[in-house]
């Protein structure tokens, strides 16, 4: 995840313009964990914590939070969030596959928008090591914002973000982006087949196929086009494009070109109000308890 680990990556922009996870998602996780008799809410581990979007709302339900990220920039941002919380938070810069906590010491693990960066087999081994019996792992993600009711805008998105090699397509880090775009399907199937975990629940949502009101986990926002472009500036591909072209002042900024095409074809300006809904997935599982 070199883009987010880059010291020049703008974590504040990320915190300000990335979509927030809905409270309904955290309610689902808490209910799932609490439905197993004997489960406690002692330690929450947030792996790939980013700017604290997951551990902040979950922290009041736990006695302790441990949060980790491979990016020093993200951890520094999360430290600011941690100072505002009443629940104690330990923060570490470390990989997901090697977390500095004791064996069988964690009640719930969450991982938001980051599993595509992990070595799946090693991560599952680490989950098995650190979770208590019947402890919960919950991971979730969003990808590819859909312009609701604007198919031509979605066509422009696909052109600029993936199809046209002159813009952002070559700057996505692979295989991570492909894994995320498939909403972790391969990871989810591997988890379901792993005998160390049980009660696996996988829930997908594609706003182009299913109305938001019928989905359990939706992320939708009404934005101006200017706000949408600020969100797009948090994409790892845009950061990598900037790094590759910072010494090429004549390079055509891909997000400026997105705006130009939306403006030319649809008449949208920076103040045009648009509705965005993301494709999402969440996965829940329990570590199998010893008899």
Name all contacts of 65-69 with Cβ < 8 Å and 24+ positions apart: 65/89, 65/90, 66/90, 66/91, 66/92, 66/99, 66/101, 66/106, 67/91, 67/92, 68/92, 68/93, 68/94, 68/96, 68/99, 69/93
Q: What is d(CA 238, CA 253) in angstroms, rounded to the nearest whole number?
A: 9
Query: Is 237 inside a domain boundary?
Result: no
- What is the structure's pLDDT at 193? 98
- What is the structure's pLDDT at 11? 55
**CB-based contact 286:198 (threshold 8 Å):** yes
- What is the structure's pLDDT at 291? 58
Query: Is 49 inside a domain boundary?
Result: yes
Provide, rounded to the nearest whole percent, the portion of the chain with pLDDT above 90. 84
Tens-place pLDDT, residues 257-283 = 999 999 999 999 999 999 999 999 999
Query: Is 164 inside a domain boundary?
Result: no
Query: Is 156 inside a domain boundary?
Result: no
Query: Is 78 inside a domain boundary?
Result: yes
Query: Is 260 inside a domain boundary?
Result: no
Query: Is 166 inside a domain boundary?
Result: no
Structural domains counted in the chain? 1
- What is the structure's pLDDT at 15? 59
Residue-number span of the structural domain to which 187 is assigned: 2-145+174-220+276-287
Query: Is 235 inside a domain boundary?
Result: no
- What is the structure's pLDDT at 10? 53
Residue 209: give its domain's CATH number: 3.40.50.150
pLDDT < 50: residue spans in the chain: 1-3, 5-6, 8-9
List the beta bridge partners of residue 67.
46, 91
- What is the structure's pLDDT at 1? 47
């Amino acid at each position: 995840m070199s883009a987010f680990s880059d010291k020049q990556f703008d974590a504040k922009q990320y915190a300000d313009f990335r979509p927030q996870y809905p409270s309904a998602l955290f309610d689902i996780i808490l209910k799932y964990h609490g439905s197993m008799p004997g489960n406690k809410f002692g330690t929450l581990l947030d792996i790939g914590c980013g700017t604290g979007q997951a551990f902040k709302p979950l922290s009041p339900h736990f006695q302790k939070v441990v949060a980790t990220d491979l990016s020093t920039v993200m951890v520094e941002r999360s430290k600011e969030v941690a100072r505002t919380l009443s629940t104690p938070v330990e923060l570490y810069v470390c990989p997901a596959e090697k977390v500095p906590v004791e064996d069988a010491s964690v009640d719930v693990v969450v991982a938001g928008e980051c599993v595509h960066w992990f070595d799946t087999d090693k991560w599952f081994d680490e989950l098995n090591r650190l979770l208590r019996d019947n402890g919960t792992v919950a991971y979730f993600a969003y990808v590819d914002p859909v312009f609701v009711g604007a198919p031509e805008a979605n066509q422009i998105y696909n052109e600029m973000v993936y199809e046209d090699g002159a813009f952002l397509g070559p700057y996505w880090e692979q295989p991570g982006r492909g894994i995320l775009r498939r909403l972790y399907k391969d990871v989810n199937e591997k988890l379901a087949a792993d005998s160390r975990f049980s009660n696996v629940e996988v829930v997908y949502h594609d706003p182009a196929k299913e109305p938001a009101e019928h989905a359990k986990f939706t992320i939708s926002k009404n934005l101006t086009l200017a706000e949408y472009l600020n969100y797009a500036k948090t994409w790892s591909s845009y950061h990598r494009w900037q790094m590759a072209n910072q010494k090429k002042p004549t390079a055509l900024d891909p997000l400026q070109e997105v705006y130009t095409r939306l403006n030319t074809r649809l008449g949208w300006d920076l103040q045009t109000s648009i509705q965005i809904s993301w494709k999402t997935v969440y996965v829940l599982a329990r570590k199998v308890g010893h008899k």
